[in-house]
Chains A and B, each alone.
Chain A
Amino acid sequence: LSDGTTVQAAAHIEAAAPSRRTEILDGLKITLPFMVGAAPFGVIFGALAISQGLSVFETMALSLFVFSGSAQFVAIALIAAATPAWVIWLVTVILNLRHTLYAATLVGYVRHLSIGWRFILSAGLTDETFAAMEDRYRRLGVHRNSHWAYLASIVAMHVNWNCWTLIGVAVAKQMETLQGTGFKLEELGLEFAAIATFIGMVVQKLRTPGAQVAAAVAGILAALLAALPYKAGLTIATLVAIAVAVLVERRLERRGRA
């Protein structure tokens, strides 16, 4: 394992950099499978929110300013059930705690940017952009234009998500016609595009014992804790897996030295 992202970052920053245009196009390219995968969820969210009694403005505000698939779905269910605001906010924190981990993982790659850039790049951080950009930074390092790929990924995910939400809102207004045909968007199977992308990324990372331990522990724990409410299992499984992987790596290092 390398000594960390900051050293890498410093080493690559001076190297010859591809143009902004190249970076933007590559950012879009690595985000495309996630855009396809998010489409059905965007439509379902838009349709569901309207059918649960949210206004078009409230529905779009969730997709524009919260942008967190799972938190949005839970929120419309809880709002419809007249849940107290503090409960909904607590659930949002539990659901999205992993975003703090994402920011911590990527922080070494953005520390040279202006505060405005750092604000935009962190405010727009989602599961998909994190997966795409963490992988990219690890493969290609960081140079003076890499944040354009990051920005392109964020903008693409947000435009995509909001367009599909809007289509879902329109669909909800036409619900009766759709129900007649028995058409169900969630049965199209498109959401597997995002999962397949995650799988490809994980498999290529499983080359070190630490990564293998992290995957095994995270997978088993996430399966065992799947019944916990509000996806708390996801956060717990991730944190425990990281801790166990670090401990195993330390053990192996010590044994290697002995």
Chain B
Amino acid sequence: MSAGVIIFGMALINLVLRCPLFLVANRIRIPGIVEKALAHCPVAVLTAIIVPFALHLDQAPDASQWLNPDLFATGAAIGASLLTRNLMATIAVGLGVALLLRYLAIF
């Protein structure tokens, strides 16, 4: 099958996954228990993205997997977030440490 047809199908699937709930939004009421569950969605999904990234689990395994710049940058960002409670400061510190470690080529 041609790449064009495959891509068209993928675009359609994305619409089917994203749109139906919004389109019927004015006619549905989400039950309280589901709303409570969905409140945890951001924390759960973001943590599930962060942890494998910080541990380099999505990359080919190697001996230095645990001691990688992203893990240290993650630690620095968590520290900055706890201390300052400020998102911009967290991004600045995290990105700063990630870039610094990379350019110093410590790892």
Interface, chain A (partner B; CB < 8 A): 1, 3-6, 33, 54-55, 58, 61-62, 65-68, 71, 75, 79, 84-85, 88-89, 92-93, 96-108, 110-112, 115, 118-119, 121-123, 125, 127, 130-131, 134-135, 187-190, 192-193, 195-206, 210-211, 214-215, 217-223, 226-227, 233-234, 237-238, 241-243, 245-246, 249
Interface size on B, residues (CB 8 A): 70
Please measure, in the bound complex, the distance between the C-alpha atom of A245 and the C-alpha atom of B39, giving whole angstroms. 10
Task: Determine whether B14 belongs to the interface, using a CB cutoff of 8 Å to chain A.
Answer: yes
Known: A197-B90, A241-B48. 16 other contacts (CB 8 A): A54-B3, A55-B3, A88-B9, A93-B13, A96-B18, A103-B19, A107-B30, A122-B23, A192-B94, A195-B77, A198-B50, A200-B87, A203-B90, A215-B43, A218-B47, A242-B44
Within 8 A of A (CB), among B2-41: 3-11, 13-15, 17-23, 25-26, 28-30, 32-41
Interface of B is mostly: helix
- Show 8 residue pairs from A and B whose CB-CB distance is below 8 angstroms, ordered by the A residue: A54-B3, A92-B10, A195-B74, A196-B90, A218-B44, A233-B48, A241-B40, A242-B44
Q: Would A200 and B52 be within 8 Å (CB), given that A4-B32, A104-B21, A211-B43 are in contact?
A: no
Q: Chain B residues with Cβ under 8 A from A67's Cβ?
A: 14
